[in-house]
Structure formats: C-alpha cells, structure tokens
Amino acid sequence: MTNDEHLDPIDERRRLLTRRRFFGLGAAGVGGLLGQAALGSLLTGGSASGSTAANSSGLAAGPHFRPKAKRVIYLHMEGGPSHLDLWDYKPGLRTRFDEDLPDSIRKGQRLTTMTSGQSRFPVAPSMFRFSRYPNEQDGAWVSEVMPHTGGMARELCIVRSMHTDAINHEPAITFFQTGSQQPGRPSFGSWMSYGLGSANENLPTFVVLITQGIGNMQALSERFWGSGFLDGRHQGCKIRSGNNPVLYLSDPDGVERDDRRRMLDAVAALNQQEAERTLDPEVSTRLAQYEMAYRMQMSVPELVDFSDEDPHTLEMYGPEVSKPGSFAANCLLARRLAERGVRFIQLYMRGWDAHGNLPSELRSQAGAVDQPQAALLRDLARRGLLEDTIVLWAGEFGRTVYSQGTLTQTNYGRDHHPRAFSLWLAGGGFQRGIVHGATDDYGYNIVRDPVSVHDLHATMLNQLGFDHERLTHRTLGRDYRLTDVAGRVVPELLA
C-alpha cells in the first residue's frame, strides 16, 4: 500500500472522521481516538486482529500492563489424572489399605453415578513409589512414573490445592477452558487472541494439538477450543499429524500456487471495493484471513518439518518424537510454535480417565508424557523461552482416594474428584521450584491455600498483562470475562 507523504495530517484526520468510520470503532475506539489512552492502546494487534477486537467490544487490544509472559503452552491431560498417584504424596495411606473412607472426610459429597451405587468406599493407596526431587524448597515428592518431570521440579510451581466445580468431563473441561461449565463461552486461547492479537501473522494465534491416549478416553469436543461469542477468527486451529496438518489449507490437485495467487488477487480486488463501500472491518478481516491462509501454505510445512532439529534435541524428547501426533512430537511442535510467536498452544493428551486398571493405564499414560514434557521445559529454558512462556500441566479434575470397583493389591480404579487435585505451572514469571497448598491425609479435601479454576485463570491473565476484570467482551447485553464474576490473582504463585 502506498503511504502518500504529501497528505496533510490535519486534512487526513478530517477525512477519516466521517460518522460511520468514527463510530465503527466502538467506545474504547473513541477513547483511543480521543487520546485518553497512551500510544500503547492505539496499537491493536495486527491489521487483522486488533481492529475488530476494538470494534465488537470496546476493547482496544493490547495488554493492560507490561506482561511477564507472552504465550501459553497448556498441556491438558484429558480425563483427570490421579493426583494421588502422581503429585500428591500420601505415604500415610499405605497403612489404610482397604479401610473404609471415613464419613468425616467424604462429608456426604456428591458422587458420580459410576460409584454412587458402591456399597463401600475402600481406601486405595497409591501403589507407586515416590521420590523427593530437589526444588527451591525442601524438595517435591513426585511419583516414580514421572522421573523426568520430577527431575525438573526446580522449574515447577506445583499446586496441590486446586479445586473445580464440575464432576464430569464435559462440564469440567469446559470450565477449565472457558471459565464456565456451560458451553458457549470463548476458550482461554480465544481470549488471548482477542486481547493480544497475533504476534506472527503467518500462523494462527491459537493452535490445538491432540494426542490419542493409551488409557480410557473420553470425547474431546471441538468446542473446547471454540471462540464462543467472539469472532470466529479467535478460535483454535487444530494442527493434525500427517500429510495435511491444517485441513483445507493445501491447494487442490491441479491448482498451482500462482493460480492461487491470481485467484486471491481477484477476490481481494472485489473485497477491496466492498471494504471501501461499506468500511465494514469484517471485509478487511476476511481479506487478511485469506492472505494468512496463503502464507500458512508456506509456513505450516516448514513448521511441522523437524529435519532442522539437531539429533540431541530429538533424542531429548524421546523415541516417540519421530511419530507424528505423539505427545513427544506435539511437545516439540509446541516449542517450535512458541518460538514462532504463537500465543496459545493447547496440547491435549487423552486417556487419563482411569476408572479401572489405574496402575497399568497410569503407567502407560505417564510413560508417554513424562520425558517429552520434561524435554519441553528444558528446551524452552535453554532457548530463553521459558522466561516468557507459561507452561500449564493440568487435567480437568483429580481422582478419588477410594477405589472404584474391586480393590486388590495390584489393581484399583479411581472415580472423578473435583474437590482437590494437583497441577503444575512453569515459566512465565511463576515461582520456580515451589509446592503450593496442601490436602488432607486422604488427598480428599484441601486444608491449605485453595486455588479455584477462576483464580488460576486470573493469575495467568495477570502474567499475560491483563487485569482479568477488565478483559471483557460485551454480548447479549452485558460484559463477559474469562473469570466470569470470580477469580483472584494468587500472588504466592508468582515470582
């Protein structure tokens, strides 16, 4: 585009301020125009993302204050990994094998229909050996199935006092992703895209990578990474393993890249006319989206091609790294995406829903994620990316201390448990090497420093430069936020 230097700025301004153009901006747009806010607020993401963010919501894109973190890698462990067998060490339970769970602990809590019919609730201590790994405190006890991750405890901020509101997968995942148990709200990644725009216009702002699990799997709805009431452009883009990483991205057979270019130019010329006629920012958005898809035809193959990785790095991620779609391959891909400025990288590892056969399922599941996720932390750290990347490892809830089904010396299952569970964070200005919060001797109730899902969201948004109460979008007559009407930043988690 030409930038005619001879334009008189005053004149330019007059011409810009026609009524439609002016009000197309919405309230905060005016705030920006009026010079109330500083230069920072005049910058609204890229040409594609910022304008409409400002438009549809009154939100001028860009952080509220200087961010500590620029992106998120969210390792979502779908199904609800057992905190008791991974992160929350309860040696005292070893002497309570097969005892009934005291009522003073369960307090009549609601159960799922999968165990509500059980005649008794026998305590199932973890059959896994725990080890104490060095961190910034007096060490973190981690299960034997996570030796690599345990060995990175110096980087981890382990939260043992998480709690959520939902007891079943769909609402619980929806809650973790969107801050609401009911579908229809934007996913965290969409809020990020909406608030910050893209840092790399060659790639989507919010990328989703899925690994099929080994254990019992539950459905994974696409709406988990949907944009809800936000512009569809903020929704997660799933990158698949195989020849066609992004669906419908490659040119059909017989269409050359030059043909595509000419087609896009022709469409762009028409859209340009429409944009000039209506000045509807959606038209410009569409134009930008086509262009981005065109650029992604080049950037995505480069992204998923690991041939430029050195052998030591590949080795670090483990043998599965060469298998597309494996958790190892997706961790490496996540690092490559982070390196290229993608804001929100969401990995799903399916298969943690161990209602029965937990010992073998958990061992397999952990075996698939342990080395790759430790390698990811290490790889990010040495490249200086962990400094401004939040890595979150979390399931949607924990699992019960009592066994679902028959309890034997070598086998047990665990039901869903929302009242207390563990997750960890690393990087992005979170405290390194700490364990936060505690549960009772049964790992059933939180006894210290509870952290809700809203608190987690608020704290993460804080690191990303947002006041969670001010990152809003107006729809259906009111302002919505990721943290709904709750959430508090947890300063104890922050460096």
Partner 1 sequence: MIDLSIFESVDWAAAVARLHPVVLHLPVGLLVALACVELWRLVRRRREPDGSRAVLVFLLAVTAPMAAVSGWLLHETESYGAGVEWHEYLGIALMVLCLGTGLAFWRGSRGYAWLLALSVGLLLPTAHLGGSLTHGDDFLTEPWTEALEGADADPQASGPLADSLATDCWIEVAPVSHDFDAVAPFFDSYCTRCHGERKQKGGLALHDMASLLAGGEDGPVVLAGDPAGSPLVRHLRLPLEDDDHMPPAEKAQPTAQEIEAVAAWIGTLGAPGAEAVVTGDADGRAAALAVPTAAPSIAEPQVAESTSAASTDEPATPSIEPNAIERSASIRNLRELLVHVEGLGRDSDDLAVDFTAATIEPGQIAELLDSIASSVVELNLSATPLAPADLEYLARIPRLERLDLRRSPDPSTDIGPLANCPALTLLNLSGTGLAPGAVDSVASIASLETAYLWGCGLDESELQRLAALRPAVRIVGSVDGPDAPREVEPDVVFVRADVAAEAPPAIASTTSLAPINDICPVSGTPVDPRFTIAHEGRVVGFCCSNCPKTFWDDPSRFEVLPAGN
Provide, rounded to whole angstroms, the least separation between the CB of residue 40 and partner 1. Answer: 2
263 in contact with partner 1 (CB under 8 A): no
- Name residues contacting partner 1, limited to 354-373 (CB under 8 A): 356-357, 359-360, 363-364, 367
| Candidate segments 123-131, 163-171, 224-232, 252-260, binder of partner 1 by CB under 8 A | 123-131
Rounded to whole angstroms, how far apart are CA atoms 322 and 313? 12
Looking at the Cβ atoms of 118 and 313, the one nearer to partner 1 is 313
Indicate the DSSP class of residue 252.
Answer: P
- What's the closest the beta carbon of residue 155 comes to partner 1, in angstroms? 9
Q: Which listed range, 65-73, 389-397, 421-429, 453-461, lies at the site for partner 1 (CB under 8 A)? A: 65-73
Rule CB under 8 A: say whether 41 interacts with partner 1.
Answer: yes
- With CB under 8 A as the contact rule, which of the stretches 126-134, 158-166, 170-178, 451-459 interacts with partner 1? 126-134
Q: Sign of the CA dihedral 429, 139, 423, 393? A: positive
Site for partner 1 contains 282 (CB under 8 A): no
By CB under 8 A, tell whether 35 contacts partner 1: yes
Residue 129, CB-side half-sphere exposure with 13 Å CA sphere: 3
Query: CA 253, CA 388: separation in Å to the nearest integer?
Result: 41
The span from the CA of 452 to the CA of 434, in Å, is 18
CB of 167 to partner 1, least distance (A): 24
| Per CB under 8 A, 261 contacts partner 1 | no
Q: What is the 3-state secondary structure (H, E, C) of 327-384?
A: HHHHHHHHHHHHHCCCCEEEEEECCCCCCCCHHHHHHHHHHHHHHHHHHHHHHHHHCC
Amino acid residing at 273: Q
How far is the C-alpha of 180 from the C-alpha of 166, rounded, in Å? 10
Q: Which residues pair with 238 in a beta bridge?
A: 208
Examine residue 29 and tell whether it contacts partner 1 (CB under 8 A).
yes
Query: Binding partner 1 by CB under 8 A: which of 54, 333, 349, 435?
Result: 54
Nearer to partner 1, 227 or 285 (CB): 285
Total residues in contact with partner 1, by rule CB under 8 A: 125
Residue 94 is encoded by which pair of tokens? 């070893």
| Residue of 384, 476, 478, 491 that binds partner 1 (CB under 8 A) | 384
> Rounded to whole angstroms, what are the CA distances from 315 to 206, 311, 332, 351, 379?
27, 6, 11, 25, 12
Q: 37 or 264, CB closer to partner 1? A: 37
Q: Which helix H or strand E contains 478, and what residues bound it?
A: strand 478-481
432 near partner 1, rule: CB under 8 A: no
User: How far apart, in whole angstroms, are the C-alpha atoms of residue 49 and residue 33?
Assistant: 18
Q: Does 301 bind partner 1 (CB under 8 A)?
A: no
Please give the structure tokens belonging to residue 71: 């992106």
The answer to whether 323 contacts partner 1 (rule: CB under 8 A) is no
Interface residue with partner 1 among 72, 166, 246, 288 (CB under 8 A) is 288
Cβ closest to partner 1, residue 183 vs residue 356: 356
- Check the CA dihedral 443-445-447-448 and report its sign: positive
Q: Take residue 214 and report the two structure tokens written for it.
A: 């080994």
CA end-to-end span of the chain: 45
Task: Quote the least distance from Cβ 180 to partner 1, whole Å.
Answer: 23
Three-class SS state of 316: helix
If the CB atoms of residues 36 and 109 are measured against partner 1, the closer one turns out to be 36
What is the smallest separation between the CB atom of 72 and partner 1, expressed in angstroms? 16
Q: Report if residue 37 touches partner 1, rule: CB under 8 A.
A: yes
- Would you count residue 476 as binding partner 1 (CB under 8 A)? no
Q: Look at residues 328, 310, 306 and name the one whose alpha carbon lies nearest to residue 319.
A: 328
Least Å from the CB of residue 252 to partner 1: 26
CA distances from 323 to 242, 320, 326, 331, 410 (A): 10, 5, 6, 12, 32
Q: How far is the CB of 39 from partner 1 (least distance, A)?
A: 4
Would you call 473 helix, strand, or coil by DSSP? strand
Among residues 383, 448, 492, 495, which is the contact residue for partner 1, using CB under 8 A? 383
Tell me if 154 contacts partner 1 by CB under 8 A.
yes
Q: Which stretch binds partner 1 (CB under 8 A): 228-236, 238-246, 268-276, 438-446?
A: 268-276
CA angle 130, 132, 136 (to 5 degrees): 145
Residue 91 near partner 1 by CB under 8 A: yes
Of 376, 364, 367, whose CA–CA distance to 331 is shortest?
376
| In the complex, minimum distance from the CB of residue 367 to partner 1, in angstroms, rounded to a whole number | 6
Judged by beta carbon, residue 295 or residue 488, the one nearer partner 1 is 295
Q: Is 324 in the site for partner 1 (CB under 8 A)?
A: no
* 465 lies in the binding site for partner 1 (CB under 8 A): yes
Check residue 120 for interaction with partner 1 (CB under 8 A): no
Among 69, 86, 111, 214, binds partner 1 (CB under 8 A): 214
- Which residue's entry shows tokens 């995505």? 300
